[in-house]
Amino acid sequence: MRVFDSSDIRNVALIGHGHCGKTSLAAGLLHTAGVTDRLLRVDEGNTVTDFDEEEMYRKLTITSAVAAFPWQKTKINLFDTPGYNIFLKDTRSTLTAADASVVLLDGVAGIEVSTEKVWQFAEEFKLPCAIFVNKLDRERSSFDRVLESVREIFGRTAVPIHLPVGSEKNFNGIIDLIRMRSFCYKPGGDGKGKDSEIPTPYEEAAAKAREALVEMVAEGNDELMEEFFASGTLPADRIVSGLQQAVRERRMFPILCGAALQNIGSDLLMNFIGETFPSPLQSHQMPAFKDGSETSKAISSTEPPSVFVFKTSADPFAGRVTYFKVMSGTVKDDAHLTNMRSNGGERLAHIATPFGKTMQPVTELRAGDIGVVAKLKDTLTGDTLCEKTNCAVFKGVEIPEPSIAYAISAKTRNDEDRLSTALAKMLEEDRSLRFYRDPQTKEFLLAGNGQQHVEIVVSRLKRRYGVEVELKAPKIPYRETVRGSANVQGRHKKQTGGHGQFGDCWIRLEPLPRGEKFQFINDIFGGSIPKQYIPAVEKGIVEAAEQGFLAGYPVTDFKVTVYDGSYHEVDSSEMAFKLAGRKAFRAAMQQAKPALLEPIMKVEVETPTEFAGDLMSDFNGRRGRISGMDLKGNMQTIRAQVPMSEMLNYQNDLISKTQGRASFHMEFDHYDYVPAPQAEKIIAAAKAHLHVEEEE
């Protein structure tokens, strides 16, 4: 592919709810642009942007992909992004590299839950947006119904520049309201409409819609307003220039239409992208840090070269694959740049433009363009590479913590040896994953955004790296504590043939506020216990607390004061006082009203309002406490505190209760007492498990 100037580049993200047709639309655009020889289909598993084996198997987009192609005088870098809740973190991260977005709406379903979420992402990054009403060839599709729902949210700022000709299976044309021409398409064809006059039945509706369009375009521009008042309308070229300004300022959101599977409307969408959306030089500024202070920085073609890494993937053959946006200057093949995070040098050998899973080699990439390079040594998502050490460091997006974790174990010894290496590569690729060892339960945990997310990781481990693992629900990390106080003696005395063992201490055990863990206070006066033996007493107490008292879980949030004791000149030792400390702790726990603690999770659910009542009732049934609610549009955010033990199956329950339209995030908040009925069951189960282990 030839090198394009910055002014001729368009970086456009296709965003929207899952199954609204983003990947199919991308396939149609590529075919219409002439870069694929036929119209590729998702159900055939051969599209350019859904190339991952899991995406082809599941028929959905899991990670964002980029396809660069020329259209007329412009180069379009097209981002095909995920639409399902659990994969939206990848969409949000990818939007840092986009300069505009096209929001797809299903012509049957209209605005869905994820539609509002990705729209919020576009608002966050100040991206100009257009709306593409897709699937108008489907039964029960309606452009007018979708338009009405869009206007309920965006008001007059959402304005059609297209009208459909025909409906459902008879949909075969589009009216361009800017030029007042009609374009007729051959379903499943090359995507290039045949120019003609507007059909007579649509003339009145088209004239009325164009009048509304012209009024909105002129409204924010004094010069255009004067021209509109003088002549009562605006010529096509003036509408285009006014639309450019209004779209870039996010004052207008043009509505286009089509049918991706039939490749209807692809050419008009690409024409719109080329003439209306901004080039990188005209796009929003990106947050950055320079000289220790936060700032923002625009794309620059005149400054020394710098790039921002927005995505990293792991290829079994090519190794680490790095996707980047050129933020300034011109990056030439074989360039040497410095990683501002690690201070290490990187050689960008064989730079290319991405086309799905393939790389198209180029000699250079100019400011604003999207590139890809393989086998960088120490560069990860969010890094900035530049030529000079004092360049701006661009700010990546913050990835939310995972919402669910599973215990993971290798099936065989061979799998165990390869598991850590394979997971390390996957953690580089997917920053929303976490892999760690729980210090209490001793389990290795794999955490992700949902059950399906974790299952996909497990499937990739097997397909890519030949590593098979087993998943199971994690053990609940219960804790034990005390509600009361106790003053007890711990005395260890043992006489053998030679030297005996003697240690004697008096301790006071008291509860601490939640989260204070453990305090040890030496309150010995007069030398009743020599100083060198005090740490041994503390060590004995700590070791006993780790082993628990009620059910074998660590004891926490307690204070121990050692205030008296006695010793023997010959028989006392550190070991004797450590054993005395253990005995004192066990005796104190019997008197200090021991209790069981459970982890309480902070849960936040985003749901359509019609499901809010059922979900709050469900939280009550899970021993949860509602802590707050927010309403934004048709979406209700419910915040609650729920015991971890009640949330292990929540992902599947939430999907079934809301038809998959709600999402949740969960993180640890605090520990609290387990109610007596549940505590009795947990203690009985722990003792039964211990008994089985002793028999074995």
What is the CATH T-level fold of the domain 6-282, as seen in this structure?
Rossmann fold (3.40.50)
Identify which of 231, 667, 233 has the alpha carbon closest to the alpha carbon of residue 449: 667
Q: Where are the domains of the chain?
A: 6-282, 297-394, 404-472, 480-592, 597-678
- Tracing tokens 């008009």 back to the chain, one arrives at 268
* Residue 255 identity (one-letter amino acid): I
Residue 545 to residue 479: CA distance in whole angstroms: 10
**pLDDT greater at residue 130 or residue 426:** 130
Residue 497 — pLDDT band, cuts 50, 70, 90?
low
Name the percent of the chain in helix, strand, coil, to the closest 5. Answer: 35, 35, 35
- Tracing tokens 């726990």 back to the chain, one arrives at 589
Q: What is the pLDDT of residues 657-693, one digit of tens each?
A: 887 777 787 778 889 999 999 999 998 888 787 655 5
Identify which of 81, 213, 91 has the alpha carbon closest to the alpha carbon of residue 158: 213
Output the pLDDT for position 693: 52
Per-residue pLDDT, averaged over 591-609, amounts to 90
Per-residue pLDDT, averaged over 514-539, amounts to 90
Q: DSSP strand E in 116-275: where?
A: 129-134, 158-160, 162-165, 173-176, 181-184, 194-196, 253-257
- Tracing tokens 């053998």 back to the chain, one arrives at 496
What is the CATH T-level fold of the domain 297-394, as seen in this structure?
Elongation Factor Tu (Ef-tu); domain 3 (2.40.30)
Residue 398 — pLDDT band, cuts 50, 70, 90?
confident
Counts of helices then strands in the chain (DSSP H, E): 16, 37
- Tracing tokens 């255009």 back to the chain, one arrives at 224
SS3 579: helix
Residue 162 to residue 209: CA distance in whole angstroms: 9
- Residue 569, class by beta-carbon neighbours within 10 Å (0-12 exposed, 13-18 middle, 19+ buried)? exposed
Residue 519 — pLDDT band, cuts 50, 70, 90?
very high
- Name the CA dihedral angle for 350, 353, 355, 361, rounded to a multiple of 10 degrees: -40
Per-residue pLDDT, averaged over 345-349, amounts to 93
Output the pLDDT for position 322: 95
Say yes or no to pLDDT of 399 above 80.
no
Per-residue pLDDT, averaged over 592-612, amounts to 90
Per-residue pLDDT, averaged over 219-246, amounts to 88
Output the pLDDT for position 284: 82
Q: What is the pLDDT of residues 132-154, one digit of tens each?
A: 999 999 999 999 999 999 988 87
Q: How many CB atoms lie within 10 A of CB 70?
A: 15
Q: What is the pLDDT of residues 454-478, one digit of tens each?
A: 888 999 899 888 999 998 887 788 8
Q: DSSP strand E in 298-449: where?
A: 306-315, 319-328, 330-332, 335-339, 345-348, 352-355, 358-361, 364-366, 370-374, 384-386, 393-394, 404-410, 434-437, 444-448
**Phi-psi label, residue 655: left if phi above 0, alpha if psi -120 to 50, beta otherwise:** alpha
pTM of the model: 0.77
- 183, 173 Cβ separation under 8 angstroms: yes
Identify which of 107, 259, 235 has the alpha carbon closest to the alpha carbon of residue 180: 235
Strands 335-339 and 345-348: antiparallel
Q: 206-210, 553-557, 663-667 — which is least confidently predicted? A: 663-667
Per-residue pLDDT, averaged over 377-396, amounts to 87
Say yes or no to pLDDT of 642 above 80.
yes
Residue 25 to residue 15: CA distance in whole angstroms: 11
Say yes or no to pLDDT of 633 above 70.
no
Class of the CATH-defined domain 480-592: alpha beta
Output the pLDDT for position 76: 98
Q: What is the pLDDT of residues 157-202, one digit of tens each?
A: 999 999 999 999 999 999 999 999 999 999 999 999 999 999 999 9
- Residue 621, class by beta-carbon neighbours within 10 Å (0-12 exposed, 13-18 middle, 19+ buried)? exposed
Q: What is the pLDDT of residues 530-544, one digit of tens each?
A: 999 999 999 999 999
Domain 404-472 has CATH 3.30.70.870: yes
Residue 495 to residue 499: CA distance in whole angstroms: 7
Crossing angle of helices 574-591 and 534-547, rounded to 10°: 50
- 649, 664 Cβ separation under 8 angstroms: no
Q: What is the pLDDT of residues 255-286, one digit of tens each?
A: 999 999 999 999 999 999 999 999 999 988 88
Q: What is the pLDDT of residues 409-450, one digit of tens each?
A: 998 888 888 888 889 888 888 888 888 887 767 788 888 877
Residue 186 to residue 401: CA distance in whole angstroms: 47
Q: Please check whether the two domains, 404-472 and 597-678, share a CATH topology.
A: yes
- The full DSSP string for 47-103 is -SS--SHHHHHHTS--S-EEEEEEETTEEEEEEE---SGGGHHHHHHHGGG-SEEEE
Output the pLDDT for position 431: 82
> Which of 1.10.260.40, 3.30.70.240, 3.40.50.10800, 3.40.50.300 would CATH assign to domain 597-678?
3.30.70.240
